[in-house]
Amino acid sequence: MKTYIVGNWKLNFTVGEASIYLHKLLKAMPNYRDVGVVVAPSTLAIQPLSLQTDRHKIKLAAQNAFYRDYGAYTGEISFSQLRGVVDYCIVGHSERRYVLGEDDKMIAKKVEAAIRNKITPILCIGETESERAFGETADVIRDQLLGGLSEVGDDDLSKVIVAYEPVWAISSTKSSRIASPDEISEVVKLIRRILADTYGIESAEEVPVLFGGSVKPSNAGAYLTVPGVNGLLVGGASLILSEFIDIIEVAKRVRS
């Protein structure tokens, strides 16, 4: 299975800055067959970057999209409008859940809309610090995973990527702390078990599972060697060219 390194730029970079960054990134890295590099710029930058990028090296992801293909939804951008422009879309990120109030029902509709429009959804799930402290991690992961996949049938499960991103490990949160490989392994095993119980063992094994949460060059290798982890969702470090390239290089070495 391919290893994925996904850089989520969030609300950073102007269109010009994003273009310069992508140019430098494309120039700095070769085409890695076993490592899929993806960047998720702001919506405004997606179209011009889609004309600039070399999709053999780097693919684009949207950070969000709306589940309706068209209609009276002022300010929204649909998956159908993104079709052919991006290959991936981040869905259910904790900032969409906890800051902007998206629930599992809406997230499930977005996952289904992404697949319908031939865009791979990267379904983010993860518990808060208080939920972990009260022993609710397993329940939260199960609810978010099965809730987000509720519109996905057996034949489409292989078209989904799951990203475990515990809210307490995201560097932008006040309570941020570094997740240990053991903590990650425990939840990744749970994710695989839930998928196997719901869709079957073979189908569960086809789903890439990523980890996200304060990923840096210094810990990327440890995270990528956790059994069942197929890549990383990178936040702050993806904004620093040298650090993002280092993480990609780590992924390549691990794959070798």
Is the distance from CB of 195 to CB of 154 less than 8 angstroms?
no
Cα separation, 173 vs 70, in Å, equals 35
Does 93 qualify as catalytic in the annotation?
yes
Which burial class, exposed, middle or buried, applies to 142 when counting CB atoms under 10 A from its CB (0-12, 13-18, 19+)? middle
Active-site position among 56, 165, 183, 243: 165
For residue 256, the SS3 value is coil
Is residue 172 scored above 70 in pLDDT?
A: no
The pLDDT-based confidence of 16 (bands split at 50, 70, 90) is very high
* Whole-number pLDDT of residue 177: 80
Cβ atoms of 49 and 60 closer than 8 Å: yes
The pLDDT of residue 55 is 93
The predicted pLDDT at position 108 comes to 98
In order of 173, 218, 220, the CA distances from 253 in angstroms are 30, 14, 11
Which pLDDT tens digit goes with each residue over 137-169? 999 999 999 999 999 999 999 999 999 999 988
3-class secondary structure, 23: helix
Work out the average pLDDT over 121-126. 98
Please state, in angstroms and rounded to a whole number, the distance separating the CA atoms of residues 45 and 128: 31
How confident is the model at residue 173, as a pLDDT?
A: 53
Please give the Cα distance from 127 to 137 (Å, whole number).
6
Domain ranges of the chain: 3-255
Q: What does the pLDDT read at residue 169?
A: 87
Assigned CATH for 3-255:
3.20.20.70
- Which one of the listed residues 93, 95, 102, 151 is annotated catalytic? 93
Alpha helix stretches (DSSP H) within the chain: 15-28, 43-52, 79-82, 94, 104-116, 129-133, 137-148, 181-199, 201-205, 217-224, 241-255
- Catalytic, 23? Answer no
pLDDT at residue number 35: 96
* CA geometry: angle 209, 213, 217, nearest 5 deg: 95
pLDDT tens, position by position, 22-67 = 999 999 988 888 999 999 999 999 999 999 999 999 999 999 999 9
